[in-house]
Amino acid sequence: MKAKFWGVRGSIPSPSTEGNGFFTDKYGGNTSCLEVIANSGDEYIFDAGSGIRMLGNDLIKRGFTGKGKAKVFLSHLHHDHIQGWPFFMQAYVPGNEFDIYSGARDGKTIEQVFKDMMADPTFPVSLDQMMAKMNFKDIPKGDVVQNGVTVSYTETAHPNQCFSYKVQEKGEDQIMRTLVYATDTEHDGNGKLGPNDKKMVEWAKGADVLIYDAQYTPEEYNPADFGLPGMSKKGWGHSTYEKAIQIALQAGVKEVVLFHHDPSHDDKKMDKINQLAQQYLSDKGAEDKLKVTVAYEGLEIQL
């Protein structure tokens, strides 16, 4: 399978603003959207942040329009992970079909949340005006989706419920490949691995690729730990590059991809975070055990 990133930001899109010297061209400014293409050619989409609009435009070039099918998996229903759906042109095309999944939640169904998002007075076009067939599926805990590719899920540490997905498929060599998509999750160990961290270690154990929320630097996550002023981000449901590396090493992951970048982090800041992450890995003497990649729009990973 092949994974391609169409949106890598968290919270809100962050376009470049030249007048302020704030540039996001290198890493991209769209919110979460990951495309996975199975060996069979089947289409899987993880999250519908603003990046899904660009994916939809690209699917036109691939002949998807009017005869396309895809499975869409939503990590959760916060704005930055669904805000692109009303602008996903493929959902307006008759003949296209989308199975839209998320873990069963406490409260509203996926379909109701989408209808509310696209209802007066917040949006001028209703969900019913989208002409593609949409099958909404709130999957109970423990359920697995199988279609040549196996997709399973577990709940993460994030407000209002969020789910991590594990995607598995055998390659041509019949060896199982595993990708874990773990956006919007918070660590709970200060220096050591806490219960949530250990759960993630078990969930991602042996994965080829772990895509992990690393929205904050350690200093941003809790400034007081470093004698700095500023608001603590504890309880906000996000993590750091240090925890991403710790968890990936414990899990025996081959590659960890730092994801869900803070909207205030421009290209210079992201370059610095990449440098710090590589140095942190080096300080642990683990360069030969783990590859650390900072996600950017257009990044492709072949598993």
Q: What is the pLDDT of residues 133-147, one digit of tens each?
A: 999 999 988 899 998
Lowest mean per-residue pLDDT among 191-195, 221-225, 289-293: 191-195
User: Is residue 259 within 8 Å of residue 7, measured between CB atoms?
Assistant: no
- Provide the percentage of residues in the chain whose pLDDT is more than 70: 100
pLDDT at 131 over 80: yes
The whole-number pLDDT of residue 200 equals 97
* Mean pLDDT, range 63-75, rounded to an integer: 94
The whole-number pLDDT of residue 276 equals 98
User: Is residue 70 within 8 Å of residue 43, measured between CB atoms?
Assistant: yes
Q: How confident is residue 108, by pLDDT bands cut at 50, 70 and 90?
A: confident
Written as one string, the DSSP assignment of 117-183 is: HTSTTT-SS-GGG--SEEEEEEEPTT--EESSSEEEEEE-S-TT--EEEEEEEE-TTS-EEEEEEE-
pLDDT at 106 over 80: no
- Provide the percentage of residues in the chain whose pLDDT is more than 90: 89
| DSSP code at position 286 | -
CATH code of 2-302, in short, is 3.60.15.10
pLDDT at 114 over 90: yes
Arithmetic mean of pLDDT over the chain: 95
Q: How confident is residue 103, by pLDDT bands cut at 50, 70 and 90?
A: confident
Instruction: Report which of residues 10 and 226 the model is more confident about.
Output: 10
Q: How confident is residue 265, by pLDDT bands cut at 50, 70 and 90?
A: very high
pLDDT at 191 over 90: no
- How many residues comprise the chain? 303
pLDDT at 289 over 90: yes
The whole-number pLDDT of residue 31 equals 98
Nearest to 28 by CA among 4, 63, 58: 4
pLDDT tens digits for 40-64? 999 999 999 999 999 999 999 998 9
pLDDT tens digits for 218-259? 999 999 998 999 999 999 999 999 999 999 999 999 999 999
* Mean pLDDT, range 83-92, rounded to an integer: 97
